Chains A and B, each alone.
Chain A
Amino acid sequence: MDKLLQQIVNGITLGSIYALIALGYTMVYGIIKLINFAHCDIYMIGAYVGYFCMTYFKLGLVPSLLIAMLVCSLLGVLIERIAYRPLRNAARISVLITAIGVSLFLEYGTMFFVKANVRTYPEVTGMMAQRFNVGEMVISMQQIILVGITILLMALLQFIVKRTRLGKAMRAVSMDRDAAQLMGIDVNSTVSFTFALGSALAGAAGILVGLYYNTINPLMGVVPGLKAFIAAVFGGIGIIPGAMIGGYFIGAVEVMVSGYGGSMFRDAVVFGILILILIIKPSGLLGKNTREKV
């Protein structure tokens, strides 16, 4: 029983990371119907920005987090502006291939500048290193901070999307781009804003992962990126609460499988889930089945 509870705590921690990354996938898909494969590398860049802030500039967690989010959102906007916007009206497959190209460019570009070796985040000390024993369970301060920041960011995102003018514009553009621009909504700046939001969340996920697992490398985004993508599909791609639910679900599944002796299979199980969703309910948990009217 205690083992189960411990696994649930670990699952929530890992799920938070997947949820943060999945939100970026789902928002970008919602607004321009593009699976942005470069998104997982923005997460990696976020981890590196956090690393440099903490090791070389000796900044604390909060300023490093904010800087990483800012750098990542600028990077996201820049990528959209340079690589995706010129292809806005091109076939979707062209944009998808471009996204893979951008992803490889970021991975190997980063490798060129920071070398391929694994780097370790500074050791956490003091309050951050605390651990709490609840019965047989161990909850670390890092886990609490990680989950806390994730929940705070998700609440903020919900507020922006539901309550602000830009959030309303985002929803309008995702439903009908042409009608939205004819109602006076600037589509380009709305898309830029969406990339900025999604990338900021990925940047936050990157620095939080760095703190939690300690090690980072230029290809660290690939596998979590794919899993977050599965999380987005599981929840229903394009649907923001779906990405959150999907993130926690995939996190929990992965931790449970490895916790009960199947750590060799954990990736296979997660990718198996993707296959099952695509067969049983391709529109995802919260997605609506759209029927073609004849």
Chain B
Amino acid sequence: MPILSVERVTKAFGGLAAVSNVSLDIIEGELVGLIGPNGAGKTTLFNLLTGIYVPDSGTINLSIDKQVIPLNGIRPHSICQKGLARTFQNIRLFKDLTVLENVLIAMNQNINYGLLTSFLHLPAYKREEEKLLHESIELLRIFDLDKKKDELARNLSYGEQRHLEIIRALATNPKLLLLDEPAAGMNPAETANLMDIIGWIREKFDLTILLIEHDMTLVMNICERIYVLDHGMLIASGTPDEVRTNKRVIEAYLGEDINNA
């Protein structure tokens, strides 16, 4: 059963169709890659899925616990609350908050107390706060960031900031996680480590993952299925092997030799 089904979605800016007539399905538990040359519309598609843009036509449905939720026209924060979280290609952490606060803010929606409780410091407030703190630190441990929990996010290294983005997305308790170029700017060793961790969090949090990536090693190694976009259109889909030998994909990547990946 698909957790996400996108049907004939189109989004144009002015006269340019950034995404045109794209349909795709993602089955629960899958790890799917979305690739394509620069400007192919990958990030636009992510923005459509997360509600930043509203599609001009077509439908996007999220199915969680056998319940089908149409995402067209729903505001981004409620889409997130329904179980779809993402990271950003250009890092968008809350840079002037500490590492821990970044994670706590993402957990905000899971809080079960009201304003009055926090004013009065009732036991429920303390209990919830302690629970959230504990869970946040558990999450930070995934990437060994628990030691840096009190540092400002802006002072983390580039790789650590990328890791924190993933943790912050996990903190919203998603069912479907969208990763926008998680390995951008990482060296091969860091990428290899990231691949392991993506696989591990998928198991541990029972997630479905859709990722955009230019690093073909990563995509070909960990994705079970791949969708290829070019000029806003879906030009191929299938297993890594099928995509690797697809003629249209090779043409689109003209010059980039994906067979050597």
Contact = CB atoms under 8 A, between A and B. Distances in A.
Interface of A: 159, 163-166, 168-169, 171-172, 175-176, 178-188
8 contacts: A163-B118, A165-B115, A168-B101, A175-B96, A176-B92, A178-B92, A180-B105, A184-B80
Interface string B65-105: 00000000001111011000110100011111100010011
Residue from the set A163, A181, A183 with the largest chain B CB neighbour count within 10 Å: A183
A182 B95 contact: no
Given A163-B118, A184-B80, A172 B97 contact: yes
Contacts of B11: none
Nearest first, the 3 closest Cβ-Cβ pairs linking A and B are A184-B80, A179-B92, A184-B109
B106 interface: yes
Nearest to B113: A165
B172 A171 contact: no
A186 B77 CA distance: 6
A180 B80 CA distance: 10
B10 interface: no
Nearest to B165: A179
B52 interface: yes
Contacts of B118: 163-165
Contact of B77 (A164, A175, A185): A185
Contacts, number: 75
Residue from the set B80, B81, B88, B172 with the largest chain A CB neighbour count within 10 Å: B80
A183 B106 contact: yes
A164 B115 contact: yes
B108 A184 contact: yes
Given A168-B104, A184-B77, A184-B106, A179 B94 contact: yes
B111 interface: yes
Contact of B86 (A159, A168, A182, A185): A182
Contact of B76 (A163, A164, A181): A181
B168 interface: yes
B50 interface: yes
Nearest to A171: B97
Interface magnitude class on chain B: 20 to 34
B76 A182 contact: yes
Contacts of B104: 168
Given A182-B86, A183-B105, A166 B92 contact: no
Given A165-B111, A178-B92, A184 B81 contact: yes
A39 to B, nearest CB: 23
Contacts of B81: 184
A176 B118 CA distance: 25
B108 A179 contact: no
B172 A184 contact: yes
B136 to A, nearest CB: 13
A283 to B, nearest CB: 14
A163 B105 CA distance: 11
Contact of A183 (B80, B111, B119): B80
Nearest to A164: B118
B211 to A, nearest CB: 16
Contacts of A183: 77, 80, 85, 105-106, 108, 168-169, 171-172
Given A176-B92, A185-B77, 5 more contacts: A169-B105, A171-B94, A178-B76, A183-B105, A188-B75
A236 to B, nearest CB: 13
A172 B104 CA distance: 11
Contacts of A169: 105, 108
Nearest to B80: A184
A182 B50 contact: yes
Contacts of A188: 75
A165 B113 CA distance: 9
Given A182-B50, A184-B77, A184-B81, A168 B92 contact: no
Nearest to A193: B115
Nearest to B129: A163
A167 to B, nearest CB: 9
B179 to A, nearest CB: 13
Residue from the set B108, B119, B168 with the largest chain A CB neighbour count within 10 Å: B108
Contact of A172 (B80, B88, B105): B105
A168 B105 contact: yes
A179 B93 contact: yes
Given A182-B86, A183-B168, A175 B94 contact: yes
A180 B75 CA distance: 12
Contacts of B85: 182-183
A181 B105 contact: no
Residue from the set B77, B78, B93 with the largest chain A CB neighbour count within 10 Å: B77
B163 to A, nearest CB: 16
Contacts of A187: 77
A82 to B, nearest CB: 19
B235 to A, nearest CB: 28
Residue from the set B86, B88, B105 with the largest chain A CB neighbour count within 10 Å: B105
B96 A168 contact: no
A208 to B, nearest CB: 23
